[in-house]
Structure 1
Amino acid sequence: MSRPLIVSEFISLDGVVDSPGGGAHPHAGWTFTDIDFVPEAYEIKGREQTEAGAMLLGRQSYDEFAPVWPSMDEFADYNAMPKYVVSSTLSDPQWHNTSVLRSLDEVAALKDSDADGSIIVRGSATLAQGLLAAGLVDRYHLLVFPVLLGSGKRLFDDAAAAKTALALAESASFSNGVQLQIFDVVK
């Protein structure tokens, strides 16, 4: 049986996943600057960290997370677990316990390995789109924020998203308007 691959994203109501905590987007940090913080809305993030057996990142997300997360106590489980970066250019990752995968075929082999725990994909719209197109995504963990950003990288774009059936596995609404939506990909 293969390990579940879960794409986890902060997403605006109009589907933008670009720069939710900071970055180059004109509205960077929109999850923190535009929406009141309600701790229970983020419970899924702690659950993901303890349940995952590995983290999968794209190159840009790796470049953003690797200098910061290793020193953050709240990411201790992520820092300890195996991390994989899908990249054609990264050669010597410095973040502890990080390996480079060169292709989606290597991601498929990682899914088919007998290691424990799910594989959690964090922060990479481009990688998530490629994984969806390759049929490798099993579940989506979406924290949907009540904001329209109008532009930026979207999780589902016309090139990557063929018709895909999803089944709602869990949902919750929070006092700040954020909604948790967990969907299983119907295969």
Structure 2
Amino acid sequence: MRTIIVTEFISLDGVIDSPGGGPHPHAGWTFKDVQFDESAYEIKGREQEEATALLLGRRSYDEFAPVWPQMEEFAEYNAMPKYVVSATLSDPEWNNTTVLRSLDDVAALKAADGGHILVHGSGSLVKSLVAAGLVDRFHLLVFPVVLGTGKRLFDDSVGIKARLRLTEHEAYSNGVVKAVYDVLP
């Protein structure tokens, strides 16, 4: 059985919208509004080394696919298998990408042999994965900003409950807090 890990940049008020760029009025808030501290991003390097596949929702795929293949720092992600949950994507152009049509397909992928599956962004997908009991761990970098509006990791759109256990945490000089949670059965 594989482990599904959700990794997010998240504001103090739960917003995950456009952390590096995008349509949000404060797009790029992780880099524009918070001083860079390289040590806060150690977990990102570890994720890339330990992951054996990426799982994305359609919107995140559409944002990442034109950009990440050109970024040398994402060489491992670009080489590994990528899975996109989408009812409409038919011919993915990003190298080594497979389209999954349902959460049942995700459950089958998780049940197969292999290593960690990493979910970047993909807020709508994450809510569905949590509701279906498919998420095993959260890697959160909580940024000391309040954005007020934007897509949140969790909101009232899906009634879900999950119990979590904090397994790793650290605070950095720039106010970012790393919180790693395992999902309890």
Band the TM-score falls in, shorter-chain normalisation: over 0.9
Question: In structure 2, do the counterparts of structure 1 residues 8 and 161 end up closer, same or farther at CA, with 3 Å as the change threshold?
Answer: farther
Identify the residue that residue 37 of structure 1 maps to in structure 2: 36
* Structure 1 equivalent of residue 145 of structure 2: 147
2:134 to 133, 136, 144: 136
- The alpha carbon displacement at 1:161 in A equals 4.7
TM-score normalized by the length of structure 2: 0.98
Give the aligned residue type for 2:175.
Answer: G
Instruction: Give the corresponding residue for 2:121.
Output: 123
Q: Distance in 2 between matches of 1:51 and 1:25?
A: 31
TM-superposition CA deviations, 1:85-114 (whole Å, max 9, x none): 000110000000000000011000000011
- Residue 168 of structure 2: which of 146, 165, 170 is its match? 170
CA contact (8 A) 2:12 2:145 kept: yes
TM-score by length of 1: 0.97
Find the aligned partners of 2:158 and 2:57 in 1 and give their Cα distance. Answer: 16
1:159 deviation in Å? 3.2
Check the 8 A contact 2:40/2:176 in 1, yes or no.
yes
Q: Is the 8 A contact 2:131 2:161 kept in 1?
A: no
Q: CA deviation at 1:48?
A: 0.4
Task: Identify the residue that residue 86 of structure 1 maps to in structure 2.
Answer: 85
8 Å CA contact retained: 1:132, 1:160: no
Separation in 1, partners of 2:150, 2:124: 12
Cα distance in 2 for partners of 1:63, 1:162 equals 27
Deviation at 1:163? Answer: 2.4
Task: Quote how far apart the aligned CAs of 1:156 are.
Answer: 1.0
Deviations 1:138-163 (A, max 9, x none): 00000000000001111011233522
Query: Cα 1:17–1:48, aligned 2, differ >3 Å: closer, same or farther?
Result: same
| 3-state DSSP of counterpart to 1:156 | coil
Percentage of identical aligned residues: 69
CA distance, structure 2, for counterparts of residue 161 and residue 155 of structure 1: 13
